[in-house]
Structure 1
Amino acid sequence: MSTLTHLAALATSIALAMAWMPAQSQTVDAIAGPPMGPEEVVVVGVRQAYRGNFALTEIPQSIDVIEAGTLEQNGIIRLNDALDLDASVARQNTLGGLWDSFAIRGFAGDENIPTGYLVNGFNGGRGFGGERDVAGIERVEVLKGPSAALLGRGEPGGTINLVTKQGRLGETFGTVGVQGGSFDRQRGDADLNLAFTDFLTARLIGYIEEAESFRDIIEEYRWGFLPSIGLAVGERTRLTYGLEKTRVEVPFDRGIVVLNDDFDTVPRERFLGEPGDGDHVAEAEGHQLRLQHDFNEQWSLLLGASVRDTLLTGFSSDPELATSRQPIFIDGESLSRQRRSRLYDSKQSVYRGELSGEFHTAAVRHRLLVGADHDEFENYQDFRRVRPSSVASHPSEEEAYVIDIFDPEYGRFSLPTPLPNNDRLDVQESMGVFIQDQIELTERLQIRLGARYDDFTLRTENYLTDIVSERDDDRISPQAGIVFDLNDALTLYAAYSEGFRANIGTDVSGVIFDPEDSESIEAGAKFAFVDGNLSGTFTVFQLEKGNVLASDINNPGFSVTIGKARSQGLEFDLNGQLPGGIEVLLSYAYVDAQSRSSVLDPNFSFVIEPGDPLINIPDHQLNAQALKRFRLWQREIMAGAGVQYVGERLGATGTDFTLPDHTLVRIFGEVKLTDHITMNGSITNLFDEDWYANSYSQLWVQPGAPRTTTIGIKVGF
């Protein structure tokens, strides 16, 4: 079904829904913006899906919110960098820098597709549109712990929800900015809110960027257009449309090699692929249409639909991982490589509806959330490769497609032609209904009960083997929580939930896996001190999940099961303002994530034992920053500094290869030159430390950027 057909169907359903919506005379408070007169439109904001009418302190779950202002202060323009601000999130393998990949509380998603995240409550991260830019993001919500009882999908460690900037009714404003910095980076962006009438607004957001890299050969070009249109249909109804159109062009980059645990084996800028492969290109086009109607102060209806198409295509030359095919383990310098090609195409459509409100039974207050959604994800992968021969057969250097890691000579050999390895379409369809009731037993005690039922179908069509696999399954995901206000400054909570994530794809024989299942328990305290200016959360948690998958190294694009895993730990998040006007942000996490099964690792034929750590998960992680605003020379100035610590973590499953810990310091600031012109700048990795973002094996290690300076000017009106 085409995008236009999807949206036409939604528009029809919205029209029908509006037809039966009763007229109301009671004024509803604005969700965002200043109070308005009785004859004016009052619905100026958009409620968040699956949330209901709750303050964060009333939710029995740890939630960290990273605001757009914090991202701008730090000069952050990529989602992976933004998530570094929350210590519960750890970087994972990003497919040569071409998709977002992260773990929350120690658990990552499917290694063969990007880590999923939500955009305004819609699934939006499973496609191949390249690393997400933060342009157009109002805030990043880190919803820790499983949310399957409402969302139905996602990792038990947590879910990322990106809330995008929406048109603000009745206002016209905007900013235009330019940035430049290290590695010849040049960027321009704009955010314009144009109010055509009191009830119709367009918000136009876009960016264009071109940059080199600290890595040899690597140059990147990207652009994005992210507009939205807001329409108030009467006093209580808001219709919002959003578009996502992006493109990324960048060479595929597997990073450096590390031999015998020597991280100085090669310089961190050394590129070991082939410039002749050219760029990988990642494109995304997405549409969202949402309708909100407030019946009165208590009850609200949300209807919505989202469709998103992505495409990733290109060639790369990647280090061979199989020891039997890798001469570098013999002579220490000749790196054999595979040549690969990728054509990854995904399509996702989501439809949902939700009703939220409150009622009383006797003296007991209930806040109800009930809804349903339908999700369809099509994932097509045409993956091709050619591998070097076994070293035992004494292949020539050209047959092994080698490169000297100490003196690379690019273009030395003709580029090998990749052969078909995986040509497959995976289709995942699910239909879910959910209900949640938060019951206020007393002024200080609330309990939350909820459950979700999902019915889903997985189908795989393997065009190389002509094997079609299909599986139907269903799940009930319950949740329960309790919230107790000890006093005005301290709230205690505890929660239990179960969840699942359907494992997309099959093993090499065409067998579809059982879904991952999970159980979670957490307890904590939410506090607000210094007259409410300083707030935070302390949490302890334990998560367990089964039917965990890993990539099949001998059959890329396929997976194998490695059993059970467990994660436990504690978190502490703090943000706000100290006396003296010092704004602070602190996030610390201790995470013990480990295997709970004894299995043979399919990637490298090592035995994984219970207690072995999970890959790329540090035990300790910390991010802290402080800033101060003041006046100097009749100018408004902001100056701040931050530090991030990431502990040692496993760099290759089933081995003792570890990435070293690192501490990165950053400084940032801004000066308001005039009422409308602001200059800002940042320096990351201030002391130019060598660090490593993630790895998959000792031959695929991603080095982090050296000292990086950015300066920009923004003009507003």
Structure 2
Amino acid sequence: MALAAALSANDSAAITSAEAQGEAEAPAPEGEITIVGVRQPYRGDFALREIPQSIAVIEDTAIRQNNFLRLTDALDLNASVSRQNSLGGLFDAFAVRGFAGDENIPTGYLVNGFNGGRGFGGPRDVAGIERIEVLKGPAAALLGRGEPGGTVNIVTRQAEIGRSFGSALVQYGSFDRVRGEADLNIALTGGLTARLIAYAEDGDTFRDTVDQRRWGFLPSVGLAIGPNTRVTYDLEYTRVETPFDRGIVVLNGDFDTVPRSRFLGEPGDGDHVARATGHQLRVQHDFTPDWSLLVGASLRDTLLTGFSSDAELVASRQKLLRDGRSLSRQRRSRVYDSQQWVIRAELSGTFQTGGLTHRILIGADHDQFDNDQQFGRFRPPPLSGNPSDQAGYVIDVLNPVYGRFPLPTPGPQNDRLDVQRSTGLFVQDQIALTDRLQVRIGGRYDDVSLRTLNRLTGIDSRRSAGRFSPQAGIVYEVSAPLTLYAAYGEGFRANIGTDVTGAIFDPETSISKEVGIKLTALGGKLNGTLAVFQLNKDNVLASDTGNPGFSVAIGKARSRGVEFDLAGQLPGDVDVLVSYAYIDAEARSTLLEPNFNFQIRPGDPLINIPDHTINAQASKRFAVAGRAASLGAGVQYVGERSGETGTAFTLPAHTLVRLFGEVQPIEGLTVFAAVQNLFDARWYANSYAPLWVQPGAPRTASIGVRGAF
């Protein structure tokens, strides 16, 4: 008997791991247990067209075709996701539908339904990812504590019980990048299987003196206890070593101030090192075909350490603004240590009352996040004292000479422990009123306690808060391929940390509304969603630029827009993916920032959020001399966007083109290649200020060989 064939049933999108590997599902020998799927948390037993919410799925196939290696690169495939300031390239930061969360903490995401993205483990690698789900809109009644724009859930490759298969690859890319990966699924006994996934990468980058090394081990163990119970354990053990890199400077709006390759830090600082160790344990039990219990726990420890040399942002201390070449720099030290515990359980099932069918989801979760930050800073003196170049830790941006001065010693700036405890209870009931009409009602209650201990000032701040967040939705099937839906949801999320005085911020609250149309065509091979949405948030935070590591409250913000997602297979073995978003994200309050003397006014755009974004690609499968092959191309357009909060500094629009293809010269062996930024466009991934602008990579290419059995 097969156990729970993936109740996340995303029509054509919810594929098994075997299908993701391009393997056919082998029939199970008589008497053996074969697991073909596992239930996805917070989802219940629903097909995509039945959910009153826009959900986009980025498949492993699309990631592999483009040879994307980082989570943020893969997220570019969905236009509703925008890149944000990435802490010198050392953490993942993105916004969904215009809302990004706390700029001082990595953007949160789920891993198999567990909170897993807030630590400082470095940019997440795509190795071990089965698919990425962008769960957009008002889902706070179930998920809790997330951004109202949406939540990203990473579904990892799981041990497939009862099967043995494997693959390995090696590739070489621009800037002498070498990478190897291996994925081996071993059936140890009839009910016990181990899946061993590992990767390693080493090479330079397009940035002068900046190289990188990263590796990871991501095993999964699956155990079937009878035909109705599965236990899964996953380990994450990763390491990233690379210099901290704030990017380039832009003077007076001139993006050619320096070449995009120019590194303005100090090689003598060495690497920042990011480490992550994570554990997940999940138990799924099916009582009947209609009722299932999912229980699990997750623990993730991360540590980020290193030194960096960064451009000074305050004008009164920045010599570059006077002579156009002498960049005054800070020197910073970081020891960021975090731990996150999550436990969660949910019961899902179906029952009837009268002539109505109910599909209900009841659950609870508890989250503990400890964030310990020790941050030091040397800062150049004010220009009014006419400091020497050594005192200002100056580097010539037009002709940099590294190691010109002794490295300054950072003094204590921030030594703080933030502790967050959150407990949530949730319930959702989707009721079929007729064969075509369904309504969803639900709610979640969150109880949150916060503590911030500032070891430098001795201030120990504490706060507790709780709130009920309702959710409602309606789905109407107009015809077999066409469904209409509408949804409303309220959200609640505690703002971690304090302002510079030690005051804990009010929790962030939100209201989300959306209406949309879903299309399922060609027998489920082609799926699309057109949605219109509006999101409102209160108690929004932004980085306190005068006090690194602290935040300031900027009040209210609003995001509204239109988005369209289409993915699937057309006749003739043509795979397509189209994603478009128009997003109008803006501040709705007034704030005067005293350190930089700028003012945020209602209507000011939120940083790094383009109005228009589109990503489209198509690929064709065919045969060459009887051997399987494919060829495809993609294009991404990102519109102009604000490059600094509260000012007129703007990042220009860009268009990037990519090509990819593969061929199987012999059975079980694939040669693949990809080219990113085909026309070598000059583009900018994100910005925090004109002196901290992250340039995008020039034309890059890679070629590799993949073997499978």
Matched pairs, number: 692
What does residue range 351-362 of structure 1 map to in structure 2 within 5 Å? 351-362=343-354
Aligned residue number for residue 591 of structure 2: 599
SS at match of 1:69: helix
| 1:520-551 Cα shifts (integer Å, max 9, x gaps) | 00000000223432210000000000101111
| 2:89 corresponds to 1:89 | no
Displacement, 1:583? 1.2
Q: Is the Cα contact below 8 Å between 1:552 and 1:602 reproduced in 2?
A: no
| 1:312-351 Cα shifts (integer Å, max 9, x gaps) | 0000000000001001111111100000000000000001
Aligned residue number for residue 21 of structure 1: none
What TM-score do you get using the length of structure 2 for normalisation?
0.96
Aligned residue number for residue 619 of structure 1: 611
Separation in structure 2 between the aligned mates of residue 530 and residue 58 of structure 1, nearest angstrom? 18
Aligned residue number for residue 14 of structure 1: none
Q: Is the Cα contact below 8 Å between 1:373 and 1:432 reproduced in 2?
A: yes
Aligned residue number for residue 131 of structure 1: 123
Aligned residue number for residue 519 of structure 1: 511
State which of 215, 231, 241 in structure 2 corresponds to 1:223: 215
Separation in structure 1 between the aligned mates of residue 115 and residue 490 of structure 2, nearest angstrom? 20
Aligned-partner residue type, residue 222 of structure 1: R
State which of 636, 649, 652 in structure 2 corresponds to 1:657: 649
- With over 3 angstroms needed to count, the CA separation of the structure-2 counterparts of 1:34 and 1:452, relative to structure 1, is farther
Aligned residue number for residue 391 of structure 1: 383
Aligned-partner residue type, residue 211 of structure 2: E
Separation in structure 2 between the aligned mates of residue 46 and residue 387 of structure 1, nearest angstrom? 52
Aligned residue number for residue 368 of structure 1: 360
| 1:71-123 Cα shifts (integer Å, max 9, x gaps) | 00000110000000000000000000000000000000111110000000000
Separation in structure 2 between the aligned mates of residue 37 and residue 496 of structure 1, nearest angstrom? 48
Aligned-partner residue type, residue 198 of structure 1: G
Aligned-partner residue type, residue 270 of structure 2: G
| 1:352-400 Cα shifts (integer Å, max 9, x gaps) | 1110001000110000100111110000000000100001110011000
Q: Is the Cα contact below 8 Å between 2:211 and 2:243 reproduced in 1?
A: yes
- With over 3 angstroms needed to count, the CA separation of the structure-2 counterparts of 1:612 and 1:324, relative to structure 1, is same
Aligned residue number for residue 10 of structure 1: none
Aligned residue number for residue 497 of structure 2: 505
Aligned-partner residue type, residue 317 of structure 2: R
Aligned residue number for residue 40 of structure 1: 32
Aligned residue number for residue 339 of structure 1: 331
| 1:163-206 Cα shifts (integer Å, max 9, x gaps) | 00001111100001001010000000000000011210000000
- With over 3 angstroms needed to count, the CA separation of the structure-2 counterparts of 1:213 and 1:28, relative to structure 1, is closer
- With over 3 angstroms needed to count, the CA separation of the structure-2 counterparts of 1:603 and 1:495, relative to structure 1, is farther
Separation in structure 1 between the aligned mates of residue 563 and residue 341 of structure 2, nearest angstrom? 35
SS at match of 1:711: strand
| 2:178 corresponds to 1:186 | yes
Separation in structure 1 between the aligned mates of residue 249 and residue 4 of structure 2, nearest angstrom? 58
SS at match of 1:611: coil
Aligned residue number for residue 203 of structure 2: 211
What does residue range 636-715 of structure 1 map to in structure 2 within 5 Å? 636-715=628-707
Aligned-partner residue type, residue 139 of structure 1: R
| 1:423-449 Cα shifts (integer Å, max 9, x gaps) | 000000011110000000001000000
Q: Is the Cα contact below 8 Å between 1:560 and 1:602 reproduced in 2?
A: no
Q: Is the Cα contact below 8 Å between 1:146 and 1:154 reproduced in 2?
A: no
Q: Is the Cα contact below 8 Å between 2:34 and 2:162 reproduced in 1?
A: no
Q: Is the Cα contact below 8 Å between 1:489 and 1:529 reproduced in 2?
A: yes
State which of 69, 72, 78 in structure 2 corresponds to 1:77: 69
Q: Is the Cα contact below 8 Å between 2:2 and 2:36 reproduced in 1?
A: no
SS at match of 2:189: coil
Aligned-partner residue type, residue 500 of structure 2: V
Separation in structure 1 between the aligned mates of residue 551 and residue 257 of structure 2, nearest angstrom? 31
Name which of structure 1's ranges 543-552 and 603-612 shifts more when overlaid on structure 2. Answer: 603-612
Displacement, 1:38? 7.8
- With over 3 angstroms needed to count, the CA separation of the structure-2 counterparts of 1:565 and 1:210, relative to structure 1, is same
What does residue range 441-456 of structure 1 map to in structure 2 within 5 Å? 441-456=433-448
| 1:596-654 Cα shifts (integer Å, max 9, x gaps) | 11111356221111111110000000000001011122221100000000000010111
Aligned residue number for residue 294 of structure 1: 286
| 2:399 corresponds to 1:407 | yes
Aligned residue number for residue 249 of structure 1: 241
Q: Is the Cα contact below 8 Å between 1:529 and 1:535 reproduced in 2?
A: yes
Question: What is the root-mean-square deviation of aligned Cα atoms in Å?
Answer: 1.2
Aligned residue number for residue 575 of structure 1: 567
Displacement, 1:577? 1.8
Separation in structure 2 between the aligned mates of residue 302 and residue 578 of structure 1, nearest angstrom? 36
Unaligned runs of 5+ in 1: 1-25
| 2:415 corresponds to 1:423 | yes
Aligned-partner residue type, residue 467 of structure 2: R
SS at match of 2:143: coil
Q: Is the Cα contact below 8 Å between 1:42 and 1:236 reproduced in 2?
A: no
Aligned residue number for residue 13 of structure 2: none
Separation in structure 1 between the aligned mates of residue 517 and residue 27 of structure 2, nearest angstrom? 33
What does residue range 315-330 of structure 1 map to in structure 2 within 5 Å? 315-330=307-322
| 1:35-81 Cα shifts (integer Å, max 9, x gaps) | 75784325443211111111111110000000111100000110000
Separation in structure 1 between the aligned mates of residue 524 and residue 280 of structure 2, nearest angstrom? 36
Aligned residue number for residue 461 of structure 1: 453
SS at match of 2:390: helix
Aligned residue number for residue 105 of structure 2: 113
Aligned-partner residue type, residue 272 of structure 2: H
Separation in structure 2 between the aligned mates of residue 35 and residue 601 of structure 1, nearest angstrom? 65
| 2:132 corresponds to 1:140 | yes
Q: Is the Cα contact below 8 Å between 2:34 and 2:161 reproduced in 1?
A: no
Separation in structure 2 between the aligned mates of residue 442 and residue 34 of structure 1, nearest angstrom? 38
State which of 50, 58, 61 in structure 2 corresponds to 1:58: 50
| 1:239-278 Cα shifts (integer Å, max 9, x gaps) | 0000000000000000000001110000000000000000
Unaligned runs of 5+ in 2: 7-15, 17-24
Displacement, 1:580? 2.4
Aligned residue number for residue 5 of structure 1: none
Separation in structure 2 between the aligned mates of residue 682 and residue 44 of structure 1, nearest angstrom? 32
